Amino acid sequence: MALLAYLKSLFILQLLMGFVFVVSGLIINFIQLCTCVLWPINKQLYRRINCRLSYSLWSQLVMLLEWWSGTECTLYTDQATVDKFGKEHVIIILNHNYEIDFLCGWTMCERYGVLGSSKVLAKHELLKVPLIGWTWYFLEIVFCKRKWEEDRNTVFNGLNRLKDYPEYMWFLLYCEGTRFTEKKHQISMQVAESKGLPKLKYHLLPRTKGFTTTLQCLKGTVTAVYDVTLNFKDNQTPTLLGIVNGKKYKADLSVRRFPVEDIPDDEQECANWLHKLYQEKDALQEMYSKEGKFPGPTIIPPRRLWTLLNFLFWATLLLSPLIKFACGVVVSGSPLLIIGFIIFLIIASVAIRRLIGVTEVKKTGSSYGDQEAKKQN
């Protein structure tokens, strides 16, 4: 075990895995670009192909969580809810506290066969991020600037296009709008006090417009809302770098299913429903803080081999010529070639580190009402 942990910590292995992810992602993005010719001919075929292509990329990250770090994911829910997973269009509401919360969500998507078709209401800045933003663009992800006057038409049009999506999709919403930090929490609770809303201890005040709009546009397509509350055993604070280094975490997810017909149609009543939901989520986190677990029965969905096999396919395809080329550089004895290869490795490591930085709590998220920060931006 000690040897395995040591191997996982080796920078060269991490760099090689990053190389596989980046290069395979660029290849996948190029193929996605080529599939655009199918859109006017057969839109549903275009969508099905892009679901498989995005799965091939995202499952490499899921492989890191499941097979490389060995992180465990336990569901707290009933079997009747689990039986519906992957068999209906749904909206997912997930708390936004951790760097790898999206990865835990993707793991559940993968285990129930909806990873390639999973959607999210994403901030517009992510569209510029290589691989991630580009893949999402081809997947018809809805991007917004968090300014309703500018977003209204974009969001409505993007959501309406998804009504006839051929694959079952899980549409993820971070209703808090940004990742939880103490500073943002203080500002958020000041807003709650000014609006006469109950204060939350573990969440930011939810922004209701995105939820009510998504539900309004996709009603008739989505059949339920899944409320997911995530926490980690032993007060762990997981990071993507920790996953890359092979650190094992234990994730617990409380999942509750709400049929769409049980959620009010009126926009204000729907917003009130969401506020009440977050008060319940806060109570769940309080219980977890005291007892170390969520209420209800537990289910541990088995991990699947597909993520590992997919990564091994890309690793075999891309690392063989890279290793052969590296050996040729060393054997050549050419200082110019060796220096060039070292520079390539440095650039690759910096690029991969910048991609990881996209998930870091301190470097992401909006200013969330911080007027001073807004003036600086």
Q: What is the pLDDT along the chain (377 residues), one digit of tens a residue?
A: 677 777 787 878 888 888 899 899 999 999 999 999 999 999 999 999 999 999 999 999 999 999 999 999 999 999 999 999 999 999 999 999 999 999 999 999 999 999 999 999 888 888 888 888 999 999 999 998 777 777 888 889 999 999 999 999 999 999 998 889 999 999 999 999 999 999 999 999 999 998 999 999 999 999 999 999 999 999 899 998 899 989 999 999 999 999 999 999 999 999 999 999 999 999 999 999 999 999 999 999 999 999 999 999 999 999 988 888 777 777 777 777 777 767 766 776 666 666 655 555 555 555 444 443 343 33
CA distance 352 to 15: 8
What does DSSP say about strands 170-173 and 224-232: parallel, antiparallel, or unpaired? unpaired
Write the CATH number of the domain with boundaries 38-304: 3.40.1130
Q: Which residues touch 11 (CB under 8 Å, ≥6 apart)?
A: 349
Res 343: pLDDT: 78
What string of DSSP letters covers 152-170?
A: HHHHHHHHHHGGG-SS--E
63: amino acid identity, one letter: M
In 3D space, the residue among 249, 217, 255 whose CA is nearest the CA of residue 235 turns out to be: 249
Question: Do the beta carbons of residue 161 and residue 119 sit within 8 Å?
Answer: no
> Which residue from 276, 142, 267 is spatially nearest to 203, judged by alpha carbons?
276
- How open is the CA angle 148-103-208, to the nearest 5 degrees? 25
pTM over 0.75: yes
Which residue is it, tokens 């054997």?
Answer: 331
- The whole-number pLDDT of residue 85 equals 97
Closest CA relative to residue 104, chosen from 66, 77, 68: 66
| pLDDT of amino acid 18 | 87
- Name the pairing type of β-strands 250-259 and 224-232: antiparallel
